[in-house]
Structure 1
Amino acid sequence: MSNDTSGTVPGSVYIYEPNRAASIFFAAAFLASGLFHVWQCLWYHHWKVTALLPFSCALLTAAFATRAYGAFNHYDDAQVYTASTLLMYMSPPLLQLSNFLLLARLFHFVPYFSPMHPSRMLVTFASLAAVIELLTIAGTAYLTNRDLPDKSLRVGDTLAKAALVVQLLVAGLFFLLAGIFHRCCRAGGIRTPRVTYPLVAAYGSMVLLVGRTVYRMVEHFGSPLLSTRVLAEEPLSLGPAVRYEWYFYVFDAALVLLAVVVWNVVHPGRFLPEDPRRYLAQDGVTVLTGPEWKDSRSLTETFFDPFAMLTTRGGHQKQFWEHNGYALGAARRGAGTTRRT
């Protein structure tokens, strides 16, 4: 990959000559992963939890295909550059949300160890994902328009940085909730691969996405202003993470690709039921069908009070699993090994 930051094509929106082969490779890789995800969703009938995975792969395939188009002598096309950049920035928040969908299904599957109601968690983090996407779109639109005044470019830079900070905070909350849930499962003797494998895969996927977010934060916070104007006019004022293309492919593209491939290897459909009414009994073996863990509170109440600390109207559903005839630790005592629905 080119490391030349001083001799780019005149009028180019890139600080380097973008590598064509790398763009084509990642476009093909994300396409292959996305098609495999579609096949897995069809095979396991598991669209509700994993539909965002093929959708994110489609966005990333388009992003790198657009980047490849720009690499073939379209260096001065700002619209191509904007489209490619926007698609790349939009996908990681959706992958984060996909991990929360998986975590919510785990909470449905082992409801007695859930640190919060899964529906409330999804409303909260889907809202945060929407905020991240809005900040990303607005920030990218400003930074890739070199005709805007400096004040507008600084606004775009602030929005882009805010989106990255929120992504990091969201990842931290994921690890907090998943860690509490995981610890409770281990303490309660719930160590079935149906729970541990998806949970470990979610950890791995989120760690990879955090690595990508940290790289982008170093890129944005370590350089004066990441706009197409600065890229063209003051390339030597930028840090190495921006000036050399291999940083992007190693710490962004490759990490995001691994984050989606993890779910190709450990697809949730192999371990978790599609139906949220199906849950694991306290013996850690038996799978039962319950009434589903619902929350009758309004979306507004859920958004502003996800832990039901301020209001309790409909927020604490009867814990139906307490009367299913099973008790924690039964599997370890050799009882309750018969499966029933």
Structure 2
Amino acid sequence: MSLIVSNGTAEGTILYQYNPSDTAGYAFVALFSITTIIHIVLMLWYRSWYFIPMILGGIMEAGGYYGRAWNHDNPKQIKAYVLYLLLTLSAPPFIAATIYMALTRIMTTLRAAHLSIFNVRFLTTTFVVIDIICFLAFLGGAGMQIAASASLQSAGRKVVLAGLGFQIICFLFFVYIAIRFHKRNLRGPGPLAEVQGVKWRKHSWALYLACLFMLVRNIFRIAEYTQGHEGVIARHEWFIYTFDATMMWLVMVVYATVHPGRLVRQVRKAEKQGEMIDGQELDGVEKEQDAGRQQWS
């Protein structure tokens, strides 16, 4: 079905199978705004600049659900729909980028980079590049879905599906890396894993929980795009708020509650109390990594 735009509204197609709820939309604008502000404060407090992508993702999520709330008064308003579609599809890669960097920070802070099955120096870069590819796919796919041609709309959905599938595969590999690191650090812990007051396990479980929420959201989106505009998901609004909005908000809540900056503070406190090996520096992870790879190979 072709999309015709006249005076800022969509003609010839149905953007939503229902009238979007303004109450739910504004509720998630508020939730994402509050958690984003909290993350800004925490980032400044812990000097954790790698949380900038998550903050940007939170701003984008808030803007996207403002678009849905805007559509309540005019469900055919194309500007509001584009705002929602582009921002809610593009925000998760930004949030995921912070999750990748959080794992790297855990490994290096514990001086246990040698326990990783993936070279820590390239871990963040590799997965952030993957995120950029997915972001471009989502951006392009979303743009194609608002085109006038029905064939372009169909191709846009396929592009988004391909991006989601690729993202899930790579994300599962990332989770595998995190699990293997966790197990190795339990069996043959790094120099800081057993220091009293360094609660690294809590941060690992927080990462798993955030990854679970991300995976649920991505699987839901695949189901949504597979069913198409006439599917069950497209006809019931509660799906999008339960399996997308709530999942992404919970990822931000997890990291606001268990912030990696606290682990860094715990390690620094242990250093001051002399509960660690003297003379080792955090930037010596390359030597540890080479030695560790020989041990675990």
Mapping for residues 61-210 of structure 1, pairs under 5 Å: 61-71=62-72, 73-109=73-109, 110-145=112-147, 147-148=148-149, 150-189=150-189, 190=193, 193-210=198-215
Unaligned runs of 5+ in 1: 1-8, 227-237, 295-316, 323-341
CA distance, structure 2, for counterparts of residue 174 and residue 320 of structure 1: 18
Q: 1:321 to 1:216 in 2, by over 3 A?
A: closer
Q: 1:274 to 1:127 in 2, by over 3 A?
A: farther
Counterpart of 1:35, as a letter, is I
Q: Tell whether 2:221 aligns with 1:216.
A: yes
Q: 1:114 to 1:11 in 2, by over 3 A?
A: closer
Give a deviation string over 1:96-131, Cα, whole Å, max 9, x none.
Answer: 221110011122122231222222112211111010
Q: 1:11 to 1:221 in 2, by over 3 A?
A: closer
* Mean CA deviation greater in 86-95 or 177-186: 86-95
Counterpart of 2:283, as a letter, is E
- Answer yes or no: is the 8 Å Cα contact 1:141–1:156 preserved in 2: yes
- Answer yes or no: is the 8 Å Cα contact 1:185–1:191 preserved in 2: no
Say which one has the larger Rg: 1
The match for 2:6 is none
Query: 1:269 pairs with 248, 255, 261, which one?
Result: 261
Instruction: Give the number of the structure whose residues are more often helix, by fraction.
Output: 2
Give a deviation string over 1:208-258, Cα, whole Å, max 9, x none.
Answer: 0100111111111123xx4xxxxxxxxxxx221111001111111111111
Counterpart of 2:119, as a letter, is H
Query: 2:288 pairs with 319, 324, 332, which one?
Result: 319
% same residue: 22
- Answer yes or no: is the 8 Å Cα contact 1:205–1:258 preserved in 2: yes
1:321 shift after superposition: 9.5
Give a deviation string over 1:170-194, Cα, whole Å, max 9, x none.
Answer: 2201111001100001102435653
CA distance, structure 2, for counterparts of residue 320 and residue 134 of structure 1: 33
Query: 1:40 pairs with 12, 24, 42, which one?
Result: 42
Query: 1:251 pairs with 240, 243, 254, which one?
Result: 243
1:74 shift after superposition: 2.4
Q: 1:13 to 1:170 in 2, by over 3 A?
A: same
- Answer yes or no: is the 8 Å Cα contact 1:194–1:272 preserved in 2: no
Unaligned runs of 5+ in 2: 1-10, 292-297
TM-score, normalised to structure 2, is 0.83
Q: Tell whether 2:52 aligns with 1:51.
A: yes
Give the length in aligned residue pairs.
269
- Answer yes or no: is the 8 Å Cα contact 2:114–2:289 preserved in 1: no
CA distance, structure 1, for counterparts of residue 157 and residue 56 of structure 2: 27
- Answer yes or no: is the 8 Å Cα contact 1:45–1:274 preserved in 2: no
- Answer yes or no: is the 8 Å Cα contact 2:115–2:289 preserved in 1: no
- Answer yes or no: is the 8 Å Cα contact 1:46–1:274 preserved in 2: no
Q: Deviating runs (4+, > 6 A) in structure 1?
A: none
* Mean CA deviation greater in 103-112 or 21-30: 103-112
Give a deviation string over 1:3-30, Cα, whole Å, max 9, x none.
Answer: xxxxxx9975221100010000000000
1:272 shift after superposition: 2.3
TM-score, normalised to structure 1, is 0.73
